[in-house]
């Protein structure tokens, strides 16, 4: 008989031995998913008594049709509306997935109709119908960081691969043109030290734009001080970082309303307008 058959087989190595006090841990399932909700519909009598709001709703519908046809409708200025009309519009439009701020003054809120944006603050009070508001595009082009790509020697302790990433970003941001596809650097997959990411953030700086996109968890988007360079971080529903990226683009895709989103918004908006017109027609005069 083969003498090797007498040698008993024994599991060795990490994880091969039972642990009496071990606790089985499961990854938490996604929670708190953002879902669209119906707008808070006022009574027909309330809308019928607010002709300014009714007119604005008609103009938003026209803007949606124009955008769906491939045109670029101008912003709808709400400064001529009464406070009551603006409050009613805000109630009808609701709050959608994406919100943003530019500096301390300008605030942006996507409505429950994707592609319909409410912009207010710092003399802004208007509605845009677009993949993203024009004011966000303008803010993304501001380049205020002179130190991002300057030589930094000696490197801080622990910094390893961040300088190579900065070199790539310098090249991509210098060559970027409107219409170019986004250039995405997935930091979560790169061999980075603990000091690399803080070094990158310090060099790129923090720009004026902060965007929050909700869905399964959150996506937080910060502009940097380098034009068209964004920090995009995805968090799960437990607020744990699951994807960390840098994007060179006009605006990250997660911010934008797709053509299909705008088509869906147009269909839902037409249904609401049709319902309101029918209800208002029955209001006693």
84-113 tens-digit pLDDT? 888 889 888 999 999 999 998 899 999 999
**Most confident option among 19-28, 236-245, 258-267:** 258-267
Lowest mean pLDDT among 12-16, 58-62, 255-259: 12-16
Token output for 141:
């082009």
Distance CA(229)–CA(95), nearest Å, equals 27
Q: Is 253 a residue whose pLDDT tops 90?
A: yes
Instruction: Kindly tell me if the per-residue pLDDT of 46 is higher than 80.
Output: no
Q: Which two three-digit tokens encode residue 147? A: 């130190």
> CA-to-CA distance for 134 and 10, rounded, in angstroms?
67
Q: How many residues does the chain have?
A: 285
What values do phi and psi take at 222, rounded to 5?
A: -120, 135
User: For residues 230 and 248, what is the distance between their CA atoms, to the nearest angstrom?
Assistant: 6
pLDDT of residue 4: 47
Beta bridge partners of 246: 185, 231
Confidence band, pLDDT 50/70/90 cuts, at residue 18: low
Pair 110, 116: CB distance under 8 Å = yes
Average pLDDT over residues 231-260: 94
Kind of pairing between the strands at 209-215 and 217-223: antiparallel
For 124, other C-beta atoms within 10 Å of its C-beta total 19
91 or 267, greater pLDDT: 267
Q: Is the Cβ–Cβ distance between 269 and 60 less than 8 Å?
A: yes
Is the pLDDT score of 244 beyond 70?
yes
Q: With pLDDT > 90 as the criterion, what percentage of the chain qualifies?
A: 53
DSSP designation for 189: G
Q: Please give the structure tokens belonging to residue 111.
A: 């409505």
**Mean pLDDT confidence for 161-190:** 93
The rounded distance, in Å, linking the Cα atoms of 137 and 250 is: 7
pLDDT average, residue stretch 181-199: 95
pTM score, two decimals? 0.81
Residue 1 pLDDT level (bands cut at 50, 70, 90): low
Q: How crowded is the C-beta side of 155, counted as CA atoms within 13 Å?
A: 13
Give the residue extent of every domain in the chain: 44-96+123-131+258-279, 139-255
Neighbours of 159 (CB within 10 A): 19
91, 38 contact by CB (below 8 A): no
Query: 172: how many CB neighbours lie within 10 A of its CB?
Result: 19
234 φ/ψ sector (left φ>0, alpha ψ -120 to 50, else beta) = beta
Per-chain mean pLDDT for the chain: 84
pLDDT of residue 64 exceeding 80, the answer is yes
Q: How confident is the model at residue 47 (pLDDT cuts 50, 70, 90)?
A: confident
CB 87 within 8 A of CB 103: no
47 vs 264, more confident: 264
Pick the CATH number of 139-255 from 3.50.50.60, 3.30.1370.140, 1.10.565.10, 3.40.50.300: 3.30.1370.140
- Other beta carbons within 10 Å of 17: 8
Average pLDDT over residues 251-278: 92
State mean pLDDT over 36-61: 78
Question: Kind and range of the H or E element at 129?
Answer: strand 124-129
Res 23 pLDDT > 70: no
Nearest CA to 49 out of 80, 85, 78 is that of 85
């Amino acid at each position: 008989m083969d003498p090797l058959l007498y040698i008993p087989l024994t599991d060795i190595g990490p994880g091969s031995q039972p642990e009496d006090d071990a606790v089985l841990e499961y990854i938490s399932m996604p929670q708190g998913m953002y879902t669209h909700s119906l707008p808070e519909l006022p009574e027909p009598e309330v809308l019928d008594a607010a002709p300014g709001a009714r007119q604005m709703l008609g103009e938003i519908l026209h803007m949606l049709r124009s955008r769906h046809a491939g045109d670029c409708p101008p912003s709808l200025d709400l400064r001529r509306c009464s406070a009551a009309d603006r409050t009613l519009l805000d109630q009808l439009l609701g709050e959608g997935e994406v919100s943003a701020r530019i500096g301390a003054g300008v605030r942006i809120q996507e409505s429950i109709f994707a592609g319909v944006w409410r912009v207010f603050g710092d003399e802004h009070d208007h509605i845009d119908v677009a993949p993203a508001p024009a004011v966000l595009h303008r803010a993304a082009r501001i380049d205020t960081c002179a130190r991002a790509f300057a030589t930094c020697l000696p490197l801080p302790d622990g910094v390893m691969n961040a300088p190579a990433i900065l070199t790539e970003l310098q090249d991509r941001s210098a060559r970027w043109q409107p219409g170019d596809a986004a250039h995405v650097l997935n930091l979560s997959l790169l061999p980075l030290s603990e000091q690399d990411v803080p070094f990158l953030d310090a060099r790129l700086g923090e720009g004026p734009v902060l965007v929050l996109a909700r869905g399964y968890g959150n996506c937080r988007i910060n502009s940097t001080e380098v034009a068209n360079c964004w920090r995009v971080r995805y968090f799960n529903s437990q607020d744990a970082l699951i994807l960390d990226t840098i994007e060179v683009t006009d605006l990250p895709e997660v911010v934008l309303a797709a053509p299909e989103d705008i088509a869906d918004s147009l269909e839902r908006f037409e249904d609401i307008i049709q319902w309101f017109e029918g209800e208002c027609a029955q209001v006693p005069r």
